[in-house]
A and B are shown apart, each in its own frame.
Chain A
């Protein structure tokens, strides 16, 4: 595929366009009303992009739209220049997108190792190398690899969930509120891990409640309000923006 597109006239776009982009998306669930309005979310190679905003702003919805979990009626989703708007979530996983849902994101009755194996289900090649990488990133998982994932602590479960998504060797990783419901200490540790994952070269798109901490590690930030882009910029810019500070970061 990559070789074919090398001769494609769109090649120039590929150099300038972000690696993954949900471009001017408008849509909602099934036949329901539109939740997103002309909303654009993207992430560049090697970067971390975060989506923040008040409750009910459509943060998770925007991410789900990028992942194909709702009907996008206007706009397009492109991965590495290829239009993937019509693909199902499963097909997007095959195309190289890794997704960690906010809840029920692990197999609680399976062991940690089995969770990782199931993450690699679509792979027919030897995935032991990838598993070793995941264990390197999350040493605690190696220690607990024969325990049922449901018996782990909240932070450890999130690591299992991220590790599971990494098993497909995704080209981009999407995290839906990875720190929801964990203590501040665990949250800091999780953010450290996420930075580490990003350092391995995988672009990360995530939705976060904890806007300030998330923007601190973000290369790019999106503030959504009622399904629309309200502010866009680098993490630092948004943190410095007085309006963003006033309305979302509590001064």
Chain B
């Protein structure tokens, strides 16, 4: 019985949150990895693009709320999501047109594009703060829980319980749908295959008559959808704050690199590796151990390996370990 209780505490505080967080990181890392695979640079503006797309979605959410439109028990933000994606897509295509395309035609070195993306990052940063300011925005509405800890306890009769928030469930379900759609697109459609071909061997793709500008355009559209979804899911699950989104850059990149830059499958694996390590290492295990260990052996302290303030350190250390022992990542990514 005690073991069951400890498992349930583990589920409530580690497994479920890490699963949701991992899904958010995975979708974010997919965006990074696609840009890397097709446009061949690390996009430093990714975090701030996520902030931008979430901002737009929040504006639409507020508008829907003001006119009384809602999505029943689901958050209104899901209704606003397509609009957020559309506007982000426009912004990305515009950015590509006036900023990135020039360097592509110049065949600039990847590192130059990284610096260019730093400029875009600044602009986005300013844009987001123009629109919505620097503060915290909570835009989740609808039903808060699918079931609560108390409901679970009453149902099971156990001492401990676990609950699932609507946003956590939505995150995981959306992630599954998004990943399935993306892989279907990449593996089954002509355009998707041409993207993979372009990422694999640009010269041969050109020789085969694949239009690079079209591949790039489709990539930006997909990335717009991925960033918006990742940003909105993270914002629903936690809360929206522009600076937090900038800081997400680190775990997202860590996820993409750990998985292998350029490998979509790797991005997903990397997202969960980073999320689970971050949560398990910064979680205070006392409660789990009290149930799991025999009497007299339970820990006196919190049994926390590291304080939550050091969660960046976790992604960083994993990143370094992977880079040292397997520089191409868990799934073989590209090296330029």
Contacts and interface: CB of A to CB of B under 8 A. Distances in A.
Interface of A: 89-90, 93-94, 99, 101, 104-110, 114, 117-119, 121-122, 164
B40 interface: no
Contacts of A164: 208
Nearest to B209: A122
Size class of the B contact interface (CB-based, 8 Å): 10 to 19
A101 B205 CA distance: 12
Contact of A110 (B193, B203, B207, B209): B193
Contact of A104 (B190, B197, B204): B204
B208 A122 contact: yes
The 5 A-B pairs at the shortest CB distance, nearest first, are namely: A122-B209, A107-B200, A118-B197, A121-B208, A109-B200
Contacts of A107: 196-197, 200-201, 204-205
Nearest to A92: B207
B178 interface: no
B202 to A, nearest CB: 9
Contacts of A90: 206-207, 209
Interface string B49-87: 000000000000000000000000000000000000000
Contacts of A106: 201, 204
User: In terms of DSSP, what is the predominant structure of the interface of chain B?
Assistant: helix
Nearest to B37: A109
Given A108-B200, A109-B200, A110-B200, A117 B193 contact: yes
Kindly name the residue among B190, B200, B205 whose own CB sees the greatest number of chain A CB atoms within 10 A: B200
Given A110-B193, A114-B193, A121 B209 contact: yes
B210 interface: yes
A102 B133 CA distance: 56
B262 to A, nearest CB: 9
B12 to A, nearest CB: 40
B203 A118 contact: no
A176 to B, nearest CB: 12
B201 A93 contact: no
B196 A109 contact: yes
B328 interface: no
A110 B197 contact: yes
B205 A118 contact: yes
A53 to B, nearest CB: 25
Interface of B: 190, 193-194, 196-197, 199-201, 203-210
Given A94-B209, A118-B197, A164-B208, 19 more contacts: A89-B206, A89-B207, A101-B203, A101-B207, A104-B201, A105-B204, A107-B196, A107-B200, A107-B204, A107-B205, A114-B197, A117-B190, A117-B193, A118-B193, A118-B205, A118-B208, A118-B210, A121-B197, A122-B208
A119 B209 CA distance: 8
A220 to B, nearest CB: 25
B252 to A, nearest CB: 23
Contacts of A117: 190, 193
A105 B206 CA distance: 12
A121 B200 CA distance: 15
A121 B203 contact: no
A109 B193 CA distance: 11
A41 B190 CA distance: 36
Contacts of B194: 118, 121
A121 B206 CA distance: 10
Kindly name the residue among A104, A107, A114, A164 whose own CB sees the greatest number of chain B CB atoms within 10 A: A107
A116 B209 CA distance: 13
Nearest to A167: B208
Contacts of B203: 101, 104
A94 B201 CA distance: 20
A106 B210 CA distance: 14
A108 B209 CA distance: 18
Contact of A121 (B196, B201, B210): B210
B14 to A, nearest CB: 35
A104 B209 CA distance: 16
Given A118-B193, A118-B194, A93 B209 contact: yes
A119 B201 contact: no
A110 B194 CA distance: 10
Contacts of A110: 193, 196-197, 200
Contacts of B201: 104, 106-108
A18 to B, nearest CB: 23
A119 B208 contact: yes
Kindly name the residue among B197, B203, B204, B205 whose own CB sees the greatest number of chain A CB atoms within 10 A: B204
Contacts of B209: 90, 93-94, 121-122
13 contacts: A89-B206, A90-B206, A93-B207, A93-B208, A106-B201, A107-B196, A108-B200, A109-B200, A114-B196, A114-B197, A118-B208, A121-B209, A122-B208
Contacts of B207: 89-90, 93, 99, 101
Contacts of A108: 200-201
A89 B210 CA distance: 12
B215 to A, nearest CB: 11
A119 B207 CA distance: 9
Contacts of B208: 93, 118-119, 121-122, 164
